[in-house]
Structure 1
Amino acid sequence: MRAKKHLSKIAILAFSFVLAGCGSTPIKQQPAKDENKPVIEEKKEIPPEKDEYHKSVGKLTVSKDTFESDKAEILRTIEILKTIMSDFDYQSWLLYVDNESKAYWSKPANLKKAQGKLPIKGLQLRTLQDYFKYVFVPSRAGRNITTIRYESENYIKAVQVTNQASSETEEKYTVYYYFNKIGGHWQLHLPEIDG
């Protein structure tokens, strides 16, 4: 009996040495995951002055809802104008132009000034329809108007953002349309010639 106890002690000691000699590395305990704990994702906030709404309204007091509504109406109108321009439908185009622009661009002296600034020399602008056909349509063909910029609460530029400038505060865009709000609706405005 004594020999059995002695053998079992030797076996226990031998087993302990075998375990110690295996060279196993201790396993690090992984913290238990709490399935009920919400995962917090880091979102990069766009500073207010750099988001589309703030770029568009600047310092004017135009609500976000009004901005969204105005932008949607103007972009919808531009889509209609694209069809009108592709068909060279002058009469339909006139329905979208404000009266001030029609009056200004119907004057021969103003058409002559515009004619002098055209890249194609010798092209005659005698009527507003000539302006539509030779100036308005070609300068807007194939343009992708993406957003608006307010000049005032009732005057907007429709623009194509061409690229982001290197400066965080600058933005480069090209203006292709101007709109006046008249009677609660946006109408196409044709700016006067400088000089």
Structure 2
Amino acid sequence: MKVNIVRVFIFLCAGLAVLTFAGCASVEPEVAEPVEPAVIEEVPEPEPPAEEPVEGEPEDFVVTQEIYEKTFDDVEVLIDRLNTIIRNENFEEWNQYLTREYREHYSDPAVLREISDDLRKKYRYELRLRSLRDYFLYIVVGSREEATLDKIEFIDENHLLAYSIVNDTPVILYYLANDGEGWKIALWQ
């Protein structure tokens, strides 16, 4: 009897399996028609139009290593000279190293009044600048007597920025212009 029960059990299991699989709809896979690969044409990127200098716009000024080194040496000598002049508080000699625009700007009573007002607001420093000489003695002497040149940056052939590095930060010492006779302290354009 035990054998019959095992056979019946096996028969029932087999029957259930057949019924389960028979109840599932069989689906034949669809065969897609072959598709030809798409042809991708490489379209060359259009070249940017040649830039023509705009009238009145300066072209990029390229500095060779030789020009940079020569100019750096010249500016370093100038700054050493200016340091001596400033340390000695020699206004007349300092004045010779200024461009006309710089001299006119820092001689302007409105500019001197604005600087004086800023000093009062920021530092509570009561000082009334009345002349370029005052500007030199009270502003320049205290801030530039020990300037060191660390790098220069050309703006164009006749203008550059002279920098000192302070706490890993470049600080502009002077904006300089070459007037044909040499580098002079200029008004930042």
> TM-score, with normalisation over the residues of structure 1?
0.59
Residues 56-67 of structure 1 aligned to structure 2 (within 5 Å): 60-67=61-68
Secondary structure of the structure 1 residue equivalent to 2:94: helix
Name the CA distance, whole Å, in 2 between partners of 1:146 and 1:72: 11
Specify which of 114, 120, 125 is matched with residue 121 of structure 1: 125
Structure 1 position 111, deviation (Å): 0.9
Cα shift readout 1:149-168 (whole Å, capped 9, x = no counterpart): 2223221111112355xxxx
Which residue identity lines up with residue 186 of structure 2 in the other structure? H
Residues 149-188 of structure 1 aligned to structure 2 (within 5 Å): 149-164=153-168, 172-183=169-180, 185-188=182-185
Structure 1 position 101, deviation (Å): 0.6
Residue segments in structure 1 that go unaligned for 5+ positions in a row: 1-58, 165-171
Residue segments in structure 2 that go unaligned for 5+ positions in a row: 1-59
With 138-147 and 104-113 compared, the bigger mean Cα shift is at 138-147
Residues 140-151 of structure 1 aligned to structure 2 (within 5 Å): 140-151=144-155
Structure 1 runs (4+) deviating above 3 angstroms are: none
| Count of residue pairs the alignment pairs up | 127
Q: RMSD over aligned Cα, in angstroms? A: 1.9
Secondary structure of the structure 2 residue equivalent to 1:117: helix
Distance 1:154 1:120, change over 3 A: farther
> TM-score, with normalisation over the residues of structure 2?
0.61
Structure 1 position 110, deviation (Å): 1.1
Residues 61-80 of structure 1 aligned to structure 2 (within 5 Å): 61-80=62-81
Secondary structure of the structure 2 residue equivalent to 1:92: helix
Residues 14-25 of structure 1 aligned to structure 2 (within 5 Å): none
Name the CA distance, whole Å, in 2 between partners of 1:80 and 1:70: 15
Structure 1 position 184, deviation (Å): 5.0
With 85-94 and 182-191 compared, the bigger mean Cα shift is at 182-191
* Contact 2:61/2:157, CA 8 A, preserved across alignment: yes
Which residue identity lines up with residue 176 of structure 1 in the other structure? L
Secondary structure of the structure 1 residue equivalent to 2:147: coil
Structure 1 position 183, deviation (Å): 1.7
Identity of aligned residues (%): 28
Name the CA distance, whole Å, in 2 between partners of 1:87 and 1:157: 24
Secondary structure of the structure 1 residue equivalent to 2:128: coil
